[in-house]
Amino acid sequence: MKLTVWTYEGPPHVGAMRVATAMEDLHYVLHAPQGDTYADLLFTMIERRNARPPVSYTTFEARDLGGDTAEVFKKTAREAYERFEPNAMIVGASCTAELIQDDPGGLAKRIGLPVPVIPLELPSYSKKENWGASETFYQIVRSLAQPDITRRSDVVGRPSCNILGPAALGFRHRDDVREIGSLLLSMGIDINLIAPMGASPTDVAEIGAADFNVLLYPEIGETAARWLERTFKQPFTRTIPIGVGATREFIAEVADLAGVDPDPGLGQTNLPWWSNSVDSTYFTGKRVFIFGDATHAIAAARVADEEIGFEVAGLGCYNREFARDLRAAAERYGVEPLITDDYLEVEAAIAEAQPELVLGTQMERHIAKRLQVPCAVISAPAHVHDFPARYSPQMGFEGSNVLFDTWIHPLVMGLEEHLLGMFRDDFEFHDEAGASHLGGHGGAVEAIEPASNVVQWDPEAEKELRKIPFFVRGKARRNTERFAADRHLETISVDTLYEAKAHYGR
C-alpha cells in the first residue's frame, strides 16, 4: 500500500477514456461500479467538452456481486451498441471489476456484435493513466490497421505522414496539432491521419498508408509508433518540436524522412529577438525548477537553458516509464533528477531549490502559490484555466512565442526588480505588501528557516539581510550560512554576508 495525498495520474482506464474521447465513432464499455462515472467530469468540466465521453459504465452494485455481474456487462455492451452504433468498441474493466475477473473481452465477443470489439487489459494496481492511454491506442491501432495497404504517396506523388499521440485532456494538444499540421503541409507533406484525436476506427484502418509517423507525445503514442515501425516500415520522428532549436531540428528530421526541402518549413519566430533584446537581460541565470511529464519537462529545460538564458535549478518528471530520458537531461544541466509521483516529495524539492520560477503541472502551481514563487504551467495534469479559449500551442514556432510570453509573464519585471532592491522600505513595495504581480496581498514567507542553529547571525547582519528583496532573500540566507559553515565561522557579520555575496555572485 502506498500513502497518497494528490496524484499526478489517474488509473489506466482514465487513459483509455482519454483515447476514446479524442476519437470519433468509437465507444468504450467499462465494467465499473457507480462512483467511477466521476471520470466524465474531467472531460466535460476541465476540458469544457460539450458532449459526454463515449463511455458506458456497467455501474454494478454490491447485490450484483452475488448474482451475475457478467450478465450486467453483456446487457450494457448490447445496449451501448444499439444506442450509439459505433464503428468499433473497446471493452475493459476498472480497478474493482478487475478483481471480480469477469473477462469483458470474452463476454463482448460472445454477444457477437457486428463491429470490431477490442479488449483492453489495463492492470489498475500496477499501471497508471499515461500507460493506459498508450496501451489503449496501441491495441486500437494493432486491431484496426489494415495489413495490405497501398502507400498514399504512391498514388498522389507526395510524401505523407501520420501525427500520433494527441488525445483528450492533453496539454494544448488541440493547438499543437494545428501548428505542426500546418508546418507539415507547408513543407509539401500530406497528413494521412491524426490519431487518436479526431480519428474514427475507419480512419485508423488506413494508418499503414503513410510513409512515416510524426510522434508528438511519446507518453501516448510511442508504443503504437514502434509497432508501426516494425509492421509497416514507417520510421517515426524522435525530436519533440518544443522551442526554436528543437523545432528547427524537427523540421530537418522530417525533411529527411520525407525527402523534401526543409526551407519552406523554417517560418517566422519572435523568440530569438525577444530573448536577444536588452530587456530580457534580467532573465539571465534566473533559477527555474521544472517538473511535469518527461516529454514536456525535458523540452522546457532546453528552452529555459538555451533560449531564455535561465538556470535549470531542478528537473523532474512523474512518469517513471521515461525516467531514463529524464536522467540524461538532468545530467546535462548538472541537477539531481527527481523522478517521483509523490507530490509531497516534489514540494520539498522545490522548497529546497528556492527557484525564482517554477514550470510545472497544476500541482506545482499550487506548491508555487504556497511558497509564493511565480509559476507557469507546462504539462498535464492541468486545470480548467489551462485550457484557454485562444490559440496557444506549445509546439512549433508559434509555440515558442507562447512559451516566451507565458513563462515571462509571472516574473517581476527587470526595472521593478531593481527598484525593489533600491528602496527596500518603500511604503508600497515592502515585504508585507507582497509583489504587485502576485496580487499584492499577503506577505512573502521565507520558505526556509535558518538551516542550522550552529551559525548565529549578528543583529546588524540580520538587518542587512532584510534589505535584500524577499524573492531572493531565502537564497541569500542559505548561501551565507553555507559560506559561514564551510569556513567554520560561528557568527555571520555584515562582512560575511557580503563575502558570501561576492563568492556566490553570478
Binding site for another protein (CB under 8 A): 1-7, 9-11, 13-14, 33-42, 44-45, 48-52, 56-62, 64-65, 76, 79, 83, 94-96, 99-100, 123-126, 128, 344, 347, 362-363, 366, 370, 383
- In the complex, what is the shortest distance from the CB of residue 370 to another protein, in angstroms, rounded to a whole number? 6
Q: Which is nearer to another protein, 351 or 419 (CB)?
A: 351
Cell of 231: 509492421
Q: What secondary structure does DSSP assign to 113-150, as a single string?
A: -SS-EEE----TTT--HHHHHHHHHHHHHHHH--SS--
SS3 107: helix
Question: Whole-angstrom Cα distance, residue 248 to residue 199?
Answer: 28
Cell of 179: 501548428
Q: Which is nearer to another protein, 80 or 215 (CB)?
A: 80
Kind and range of the H or E run holding 27: strand 26-31
Question: Whole-angstrom Cα distance, residue 42 to residue 48?
Answer: 9
Q: How far is CA 18 from CA 40, 167, 268, in A?
A: 10, 6, 33
Q: Which of 341, 316, 353 is nearest to 3 (CA)?
A: 341
Region of residue 57 (left: phi > 0; alpha: psi -120 to 50; beta: else): beta
Question: Whole-angstrom Cα distance, residue 435 to residue 187?
Answer: 46
Catalytic residue among 256, 261, 279, 486: 279
- In the complex, what is the shortest distance from the CB of residue 343 to another protein, in angstroms, rounded to a whole number? 9
Cell of 415: 526595472
> In degrees to the nearest 10, what's the CA dihedral of 391, 392, 393, 394?
180
Amino acid found at 59: T
Q: Which is nearer to another protein, 13 or 173 (CB)?
A: 13
Q: Which is nearer to another protein, 22 or 204 (CB)?
A: 22
Cell of 446: 521565507
Residue 59 has phi, psi (to 5 degrees) of 40, 55
- In the complex, what is the shortest distance from the CB of residue 367 to another protein, in angstroms, rounded to a whole number? 9
Please list, in sequence order, all residues whose beta carbon lies within 8 angstroms of the beta carbon of residue 460, skipping any fewer than 6 positions away. Answer: 493, 494
- In the complex, what is the shortest distance from the CB of residue 346 to another protein, in angstroms, rounded to a whole number? 13
Q: Which is nearer to another protein, 39 or 70 (CB)?
A: 39
- In the complex, what is the shortest distance from the CB of residue 407 to another protein, in angstroms, rounded to a whole number? 22
- In the complex, what is the shortest distance from the CB of residue 374 to another protein, in angstroms, rounded to a whole number? 18
Kind and range of the H or E run holding 445: none
Q: Which is nearer to another protein, 54 or 265 (CB)?
A: 54
- In the complex, what is the shortest distance from the CB of residue 59 to another protein, in angstroms, rounded to a whole number? 5
- In the complex, what is the shortest distance from the CB of residue 375 to another protein, in angstroms, rounded to a whole number? 14
Q: How far is CA 103 from CA 112, 366, 440, in A?
A: 15, 40, 57
Q: Which is nearer to another protein, 145 or 378 (CB)?
A: 378
Q: Which of 19, 18, 23 is nearest to 39 (CA)?
A: 18
Cell of 371: 511558497
- Contact between residue 284 and residue 317 where contact means Cβ atoms under 8 Å apart: no
Question: Does 279 participate in catalysis according to the annotation?
Answer: yes
Q: Which is nearer to another protein, 45 or 454 (CB)?
A: 45
Residues with catalytic function: 279
